[in-house]
Amino acid sequence: MRWIVLLAVISSACGEKERLEDGGMASKIRSHRDHHIDGEALVGSRKEADAMGSLSTEESKKRLVAVARRIDEDKDGKISKAELSAWIVKAIRAVDEEEAEERMREVDINGDSMVSWDEYVKDAFPHDNPNELDADDKKLLAEDKKYFDAADLDKDGLLNMDEFSAFLTPENYGHMHAVLVELTSAEKDEDRDGAISLKEYMGEMHDSPHSEWYKVEAEKFARDHDVNGDGILTGEEITRWLIPNVEETAESETNHIFERADADKDGYLSYEEVSNQYELFVESEATRFGQHLDDIRHEEL
């Protein structure tokens, strides 16, 4: 999940030309994740979040309270901001690990627990001859190769589990940051001036200045990303935009959840408050509650 992924170009990634059925996986998930985050963040598993659809509201609420008990590390019957934030950090990383393991099983054709470049290309473009791709797909594949080579630390032409995880989520690995910033900046910097303007940040959505989405993202650009207030992103501003800090993301999502769920404003979430805000928690990617619910043993309910 290229944050980017997390991540994040995120919001403007909707304007990128990407193939949904097949095509460069790395390029597809390069749009970094902008947490507010959906149902995966409190649970730590996409599979468990998907299973939520088969549960009744009553059953889901019971399981949600069971997850809340897990988050409540000191077992005092309520969840502090520190407890929720720490849980979100672990949940985000757990989902990344789960996705990497799933993709490894899909891409590793010969079953040697390694991914070669040929295996990746066959998985990314199963219906195409790599030599006959159109210009856009060739560009995506060339970008993917740069990510692949950067992830291949031992330069043996194969990605083990850790290296493959770096390939999929470069924002989580320091040695991947340079290529991530290089390629994403080049794609967004249309006028090649070394900076990202608000128009470039917005992408195709820049043509909808009266939409609520535009207003939210423009405010985020000015408040969170344009640190020096000069109207453009350069240098470290671009890096911070493309590579969100997981702890900061967790803190932001925690504050968002508390604003909505802490009904008595005592600075804690009771299990009842969690249950009452069922939809908020299940839909939060940061909390990943939705994914944990199916993992709750019957005796915990």
222 pLDDT more than 90: yes
The whole-number pLDDT of residue 43 equals 59
Q: Give tens-digit pLDDT for 121-172.
A: 999 888 778 888 899 899 999 999 999 999 999 999 999 999 999 999 998 8
Return the pLDDT at 41. Answer: 56
Q: What is the rounded radius of gyration, in angstroms, for the C-alpha atoms of the chain?
A: 20
Q: What is the pLDDT of residues 42-53, one digit of tens each?
A: 556 666 656 655
| DSSP-assigned states of every residue in 215-230 | HHHHHHIIIII-TT-S
Better pLDDT: 35 or 115: 115
Which is higher by pLDDT, 96 or 196? 196
Q: What is the pLDDT of residues 175-187, one digit of tens each?
A: 999 999 999 888 8
Task: Read off the DSSP letter of residue 115.
Answer: E
Q: What's the mean pLDDT when you consider all of the chain?
A: 80
pLDDT score for 44: 60
Domain positions in the chain are: 11-300
CA distance 233 to 204: 18
Amino acid 171: pLDDT: 87
| Cβ neighbour number for residue 273 with a 10 Å cutoff | 19
**Per-residue confidence (pLDDT) for residue 238, from 0 to 100:** 92
> What does the angle CA 7 – CA 8 – CA 13 come to, to the nearest 5 degrees?
95
Residue 233 three-state SS: strand
- Distance separating alpha carbons of residues 301 and 278, to the nearest angstrom: 16
Helix (H) or strand (E) holding 278, with range, is helix 278-283
Q: Which of the pair, 77 or 21, is modelled with greater confidence?
A: 77
Better-scored residue on pLDDT, 56 or 7:
56
**Which residues share a beta bridge with 115?**
159
Instruction: Give pLDDT tens digits for 73-130.
Output: 999 999 999 999 999 888 888 888 888 999 999 999 999 999 999 999 999 888 778 8
**Length, in residues, of the chain:** 301
Residue 249 pLDDT level (bands cut at 50, 70, 90): confident
Q: What is the pTM of this model?
A: 0.69
Is 202 in a helix, a strand, or coil? Answer: helix
